[in-house]
Amino acid sequence: MRESWPRTSFVVIGATALAIRGHAPPRRSDDVDLAVAVEPEELSSLREALRPAGWEDVRRQPHRWRHYQLGLSADVVPAGANPGATSEVQLARGLVIDLRGLDVALAKAEDVAVICEGDESRMTTAPTPPLPVLMLLKMITYVDKPTIREKDAADVGRVMLRYLGEDDERRWDPPQSTVYDEDLNDWAIETMGDPRYPLSLLLRVIQVSVETVKIVEALPPLEIMEEG
């Protein structure tokens, strides 16, 4: 894609990005989610640039492309030429996509080495956000549509439970969140004997993320003053 889109910034997101960062979801997916720094009307030209490689569009889904020979599909989200300028985009009738957080994903993307199908001779690099940014995107997606995006909440909980080893000293660091006055580490220690502890922890994380999104949305626009 970089050869076909030499002047276009894009980043891998979703389940594929989690797998690249070493936290592959238990569900298998042949879909690749991409965020691209272009306007919605530019999607067709990007797709045409990939057509010689075998990619085709899906009828009535301008953001979804298929490679039938390889059995792959790509969901391409146009984040806008100025990512962060708008919070959502409508790509088709009834298809509105949340764009919040994609500006951070594009700005923080790092090239990560990827081995294709276990063959080290087929190594490439994929622009991928750091794991904390992927968690931010998952939280935003879940908060936006909680009734149909339970898997995003599950991904956040699974990554957080695995992020640190049980003997990692950072588990006992004071909490950095100020959303709640209580010490969440103390709460976690008190509830570890409860068989419902993983679920309780996940629900607490989701609750904090919801409140965090509300706080961020309430912040005034950031004005950057020019020097001099």
State pLDDT tens for residues 157-188. 888 888 777 787 877 776 655 544 455 555 45
Given this model, what pLDDT does residue 205 score? 67
What distance in Å separates the CA atoms of residue 82 and residue 104, rounded to the nearest whole number? Answer: 12
Do 18 and 86 belong to one domain? yes
95's tokens? 């298809």
Asked whether residue 161 falls in the same domain as residue 55, the answer is no
50/3 Cα distance (integer angstroms): 10
pLDDT in tens, 66-90: 998 888 899 999 999 999 999 999 9
Helix/strand number for the chain, H first, E second: 7, 9
Task: Give the count of domains, the chain.
Answer: 2
Say yes or no: 14 and 102 in one domain: yes
The amino acid that residue 7 corresponds to is R
This prediction's pTM: 0.72
Half-sphere exposure of 107 (CA within 13 A, CB side): 9
| Residue 26 located in a structural domain | yes
Strand (E) or helix (H) holding 120: strand 119-128
Regarding whether 15 and 114 lie in a shared domain, the answer is: yes
Judge if 102 and 156 occupy the same domain: no
For the cut 70, the answer to whether the pLDDT of residue 191 exceeds it is no
226 part of a folded domain: no
Q: Are residues 199 and 162 in the same domain?
A: yes
- Residues of the chain above pLDDT 70, percent: 75
Q: Residue 128 pLDDT more than 90?
A: yes
Q: Is residue 182 located within the same domain as residue 115?
A: no
Cα distance between residue 173 and residue 114, in whole Å: 33
- Give the Å distances, CA to CA, from 219 to 134, 136, 215, 223: 22, 17, 7, 12
Q: Are residues 122 and 29 in the same domain?
A: yes
Residue 161 lies in domain: 150-218
- State the Cα–Cα distance between residues 115 and 129, nearest whole angstrom: 18
Inside any domain, residue 32: yes
Q: What angle do CA 177, 153, 193 make, to 5 degrees?
A: 70
Choose the weakest-confidence range: 5-14, 34-43, 60-69, 127-136.
Answer: 60-69
Please list, in sequence order, all residues whose beta carbon lies within 8 angstroms of the beta carbon of residue 20, skipping any fewer than 6 positions away.
12, 112, 114, 126, 128
The torsion angle over the Cα atoms of residues 47, 48, 50 and 52, rounded to 10 degrees, is 150
Q: Using the 3D structure, point to which of 130, 158, 178 is the last residue of a domain.
A: 130
Is 142 among the domain residues? no
115 and 73, same domain (yes or no): yes
Question: Does residue 97 belong to any structural domain of this protein?
Answer: yes
Amino acid at 79: A
178, 81: one domain: no
